[in-house]
């Protein structure tokens, strides 16, 4: 009986030490997590500057995976999606030209009515 009590006591002591260590390093882990998110967001922004949308989306998704509650990753993803689906100036001009009707006035013959 004394052996079981000693083993339980040692296990509880070790669990308390582990929890104490993890709780004191929680702030350090959060700082590392935030640094990793910022690294991915910066890489996503650099890819957007180079107009590499797929690379920007990849890094934005990685930032979201690291911490889904952090808005920075979602903002980077939103910027990449906007660039992906944003029509270029040439396409907009072509579509406007296509939308203009090319109606030629037909002169109907006078039917005498």
The pTM of this model reads: 0.56
Question: pLDDT-based confidence at 61, cuts 50/70/90?
Answer: very high
pLDDT in tens, 22-59: 676 667 778 888 999 999 999 999 999 988 889 999 99
pLDDT in tens, 64-94: 999 899 899 999 999 988 888 876 665 556 5
Secondary structure class of 91 (helix, strand, coil)? helix
Distance (Å, whole) CA 27 – CA 17: 17
Residue spans per domain, the chain: 30-96
């Amino acid at each position: 009986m004394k052996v079981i009590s000693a083993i339980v006591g040692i296990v509880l002591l070790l669990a308390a030490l582990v929890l104490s260590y993890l709780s004191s390093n929680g702030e350090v882990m959060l700082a590392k997590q935030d640094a990793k998110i910022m690294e991915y967001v910066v890489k996503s922004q650099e890819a957007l500057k180079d107009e590499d949308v797929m690379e920007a989306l990849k890094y934005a998704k990685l930032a979201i995976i690291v911490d889904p509650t952090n808005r920075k990753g979602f903002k980077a993803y939103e910027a990449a999606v906007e660039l992906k689906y944003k029509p270029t100036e040439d396409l907009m001009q072509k579509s406007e030209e296509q939308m203009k009707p090319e109606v030629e006035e037909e002169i109907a013959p006078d039917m005498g009515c």
